[in-house]
Structure 1
């Protein structure tokens, strides 16, 4: 595979820190963090490029979390009365600023997380689309719903949506803009305050974004940022907010859901995945191989919906395998602050070690490496070649455990039924893909796959990019949905408002209870015959 390591003209090649990120600018971002000015706690993160320190970031405490929620709650009471059009204007101004100044946040995402620049740009695309969609259509999703009352003509009833109050956000490092901000936008538009816990690896991206929202006109206290380890701040945040939105591992998600349940607050959880891709006998092999490469190795495989298991019909297995290997070996691998690289670095030492361990375990137990399977320290400390495995079985960790890296395993099947059974192995159910020239047949097969999203003739992006449709998982892949109607309604409570006219419900004093019951019973039978309600 081709390799490259270059630096953009705006990058200081001795530290990899973007030259425009000055100490003064970092200080202004740190001012956004909700923390005691006298606090002494801090965190450190290291750039995947060379393991150099990105920044020493002031950290929040549990007490700071409590104060941040209280401040957001006070601001929310005013924000709730702001007209929808004014809230939407703030979000649309943010949209424009994000697009205009995207080069800054692209640098930050790459510096903190190591992904290829095109993968970083896809975060811009998603967040801008989310901002525009909810600003234009969110009011429709939250519109009051008028329903029939207990006594038509006498009872007027509406279901209305009211904000929950303060929403807690815990987001991961792999998409520091999209996953951190894409959920915040609908929460704010729905009238809530927000407290976000920035991931320690990618805190600067979120702080930059908060500053940009301030430029767009968002009230200062409405969206609070706390920084620090989840083990320190996570429980404190769940204990104070009115809804918790978490994206991360299934193990941690279970803990988040348990604690939220103890408080009787809702939790939306997008968790792990071991996503399958099915290649039917009638598939266009070249397109299926290209789609697999994009879905398996985009974002260096560090995305919850990326493909890790490829299930191929025996009639096209050899042809597909050869196309997949050839396409994988043609990828440009390395680190660069421009668009010359296809696959970037893994984000952290821990993630790099996890990927290496999965491949080594598979090889030790009999799997074959068709391509890749090698670390590339010449390109960066966490760079690992895109890897295709064959001969994987359930004795191997890579088979059903989430790898979260540039590794994909091939499986041969002889029928659609066998492919579906293979796809449904394990406990996850986030995303899936089916490749076939018979799209009607593929659509029907999708109903048999246990996954929150099924892409037909696309690896993963088609469903995730369809902002009007919900995105989330089944089984161990989580609860709830982002995007679409549920993506904003989940941040509200449904409130029923009923207005009774003329007389109250119940037996009038002049009729008596028994006569009222007998009369009502007759009315019930009449209404049934008339097919009313």
Structure 2
């Protein structure tokens, strides 16, 4: 563990809160996180100044982490599910009681507004409680219909995969780290690779869970670059969960397939929103602001394309543009700031490049459109563009920043064509006063989640329903029972009583066949089958 700590110039606004950048606190977060490679220095998003040094792992370090995880997992798998679940209900309470610590960590590392950081924490505690309460029932053996009614007793039982590799990104470092919760509840151990830049936010729930009683070896953390440890993380795993870019997801999928292991991938998106002619424009514009600009647009499910009915297009653009221009940007660490900063210089370059390219191609700037170095090194104004031509990068590529384009449509069929004209299919939104009609429109959109009269939170926050992407937006799902059961291997155990499958009582094979055919017909008629 590194003993070198860099402190940014801004200080906590509430002196009563825990100093999450103190040496003892950082040491506790990094406890047990080893690495024999050189450390790297992370950056405070608000200031661009050095924040903290984090240890880096080699491939050999990752191998050691898997060895420790496998040894711990064998005992963990024998712990009753209800006993496992109690640790996570405790984690839920600890996260809420100490949420101010996580707010500070998330803001230091990502630069998002405090309210958006809180959304991340609430999502994490919500998913934790959901699985803690449902895992005992979901993982209990299930009685299934047997081959021969009354005489075949069949049960479906579940075994953990073993050791799960979880790779989480920088944009929602705490919320997406909570994918380890269902993996652990299912009886697995986890080898987790968070992003270097937001490692502290990802390590916070691990610290609390260990305080609650989880054996530390069950949640191994390896920090390092994909080129250095990526292959080792895949090659030693029994299952891989990844959230990140489509390009990286394809590489992981190919390597997982070569090893004959499963993977769950939530990848990129170019998420659309439809504003139908009967939508409440004032409410729609207000809701769209959050749908587009939460976490400065660095959210996989945020809206990047808006299509409005041509009869209300001009009115909507005016209302939406006015609300976006009124947004407050700042590095404030209270709840007063609406929008924070982009997280890095790389993000700033991508957003600037997309906007500049679109404007050069003829796009019109309705709001924003420029960087704000006077506020901080990575700030960029929330930006609304119209008339973006298909030749512009922004038209098809994921920007992953505070930028949204708006275009009109004349017919519903044209709207559906525009919405689906993308390689992605992660999230979408439809706004209309006629919910029944909006549901019919939603059914025609090729996306894993569709929100009606909301940008993303309604679907994403519904923990009991699956969340994930179609097309190049990924494979597999988080949330719901699927988000837990993907971490287990189902096994069928059947017991045969009485008559079996061979001829009995002196019957010939031909007589046996006649009886089988007759019994099969009778079972259908009597609805036994």
TM-score w.r.t. length of structure 2: 0.95
Other-structure match for 1:14:
none
SS at 2:441's partner residue?
helix
CA positional deviation for 1:141? 2.6
What are the within-5 Å matches in structure 2 for residues 365-376 of structure 1?
A: 365-376=361-372
- Asked if the contact 1:6/1:335 (under 8 Å) is kept, the reply is no
Matches within 5 A, 1:319-468: 319-468=315-464
Q: Residue by residue, what CA displacement relative to the aligned partner does 1:461-489 show, whole Å, maximum 9, x if unpaired? A: 10001111110010010001100110101
SS at match of 2:216: coil
- Matching of residue 217 in structure 1 with residue 213 in structure 2: yes
DSSP 3-state at the match of 1:369: strand
**Partner Cα separation in structure 2 for residue 396 and residue 99 of structure 1:** 44
Distance in 1 between the 2:501 and 2:294 partners?
61
Alignment counterpart, residue 80 of structure 1, candidates 77, 82, 85: 77
The match for 1:288 is: 284
In the TM superposition, residue 515 of structure 1 has moved relative to its aligned partner by: 3.5
Q: CA deviation at 1:139?
A: 2.3
Q: What residue is the counterpart of 1:507 in the other structure?
A: 503
Q: Which residue of 2 aligns with 1:274?
A: 270
Q: Deviations over 1:429-474 (max 9, x none)?
A: 0000000000000001100000001100011110001111110010
Whether 2:133 is the aligned partner of 1:133: answer: no
The C-alpha deviation readout for 1:7-41, integer Å capped at 9, x for no partner, is: 54358xxxxx9844222332333223144xxx242
Alignment map for 1:158-169 (pairs within 5 Å): 158-169=155-166
Classify 1:129/1:528 alpha carbon distance in 2 versus 1 (closer, same or farther; 3 Å): closer
TM-superposed CA distance for 1:508, in Å, is: 3.5
In the alignment, which residue of structure 1 is the partner of 2:4?
Answer: none
2:55 match: 58
**Matched residue, 1:93:** 90
1:69 aligned residue (66, 71, 83): 66
Cα shift readout 1:218-268 (whole Å, capped 9, x = no counterpart): 112111111111222221111111110000000000011111111111110
CA contact (8 A) 2:275 2:431 kept: yes
Q: 1:272 to 1:526 in 2, by over 3 A?
A: same
Partner-residue secondary structure (3-state), 1:402: coil
> CA–CA distance in 1 between the matches of 2:209 and 2:525?
58
1:9 maps to 2:13: yes
Matched residue SS, 1:467: coil
Choose the corresponding residue for 2:143, options 146, 154, 158: 146
- Give 1:518 shift: 3.6
CA distance in 1, matches of 2:260, 2:169: 24
* Residue aligned with 1:73, SS: helix
- In structure 1, the partner of 2:111 is 114
Query: Mind listing any 5+ residue stretches in structure 1 that lack a counterpart?
Result: 12-16
Q: Given the alignment of the two structures, is residue 496 of structure 1 paired with residue 492 of structure 2, yes or no? A: yes
Q: Which residue of 1 aligns with 2:3?
A: none
Q: What is the root-mean-square deviation in Å for CA atoms of aligned residues?
A: 1.8
Partner of 1:25: 25
Contact residue 34 and residue 65 of structure 1 kept, 8 A: no
Distance 1:336 1:129 in 2: 26
Distance 1:526 1:467, change over 3 A: closer
What residue number does 2:309 align with? 313
- The separation in 2 between residues aligned to 1:287 and 1:358, in whole angstroms, is 28
Per the alignment, residue 250 of structure 2 pairs with 254
Q: Cα–Cα, structure 1 residues 157 and 19, in superposed 2: closer, same or farther, change >3 Å? A: closer
Residue by residue, what CA displacement relative to the aligned partner does 1:409-444 show, whole Å, maximum 9, x if unpaired?
Answer: 000111211111111111100000000000000001
Partners of 2:239 and 2:263 within 8 A in 1 = yes
Q: Which moved more, 1:78-87 or 1:365-374?
A: 78-87
Aligned-pair CA distance for 1:43? 1.9
For normalisation by structure 1, the TM-score amounts to 0.94
Q: Does the 8 Å CA contact 1:238/1:259 hold for their aligned counterparts? A: yes
Q: For 1:402 and 1:40, how far apart are their aligned partners in 2?
A: 33
Change (3 A) 1:442 1:499: same
Checking the alignment, whether the CA contact within 8 Å between 1:166 and 1:192 is kept in structure 2 is yes
Does the 8 A contact of 1:10 with 1:19 survive in 2?
no
SS state at 2:153 partner: strand
Q: Deviations over 1:78-105 (max 9, x none)?
A: 1111122211110011111111111111
| Partner SS state of residue 211, structure 2 | helix
State the SS of the aligned residue for 1:298: helix
Number of equivalent positions: 520
- Structure 2 residue matching 1:403: 3-state secondary structure: coil
| CA deviation profile, 1:14-71 (whole Å, cap 9, x unmatched) | xxx9844222332333223144xxx242222111122111111111111111221121
| Counterpart among 41, 44, 57 of residue 44 in structure 1 | 41
Whole-angstrom distance in 1 between the partners of 2:433 and 2:201: 41
| Deviation of the 1:512 alpha carbon | 4.1
Which ranges of structure 2 fall in alignment gaps of 5 or more residues? 1-8
Task: Name whichever of 133-142 and 394-403 sits farther off.
Answer: 133-142
Q: The residue matched to 1:376 in structure 2 has which SS?
A: coil
CA deviation after TM superposition for structure 1 residue 395, in Å: 0.2
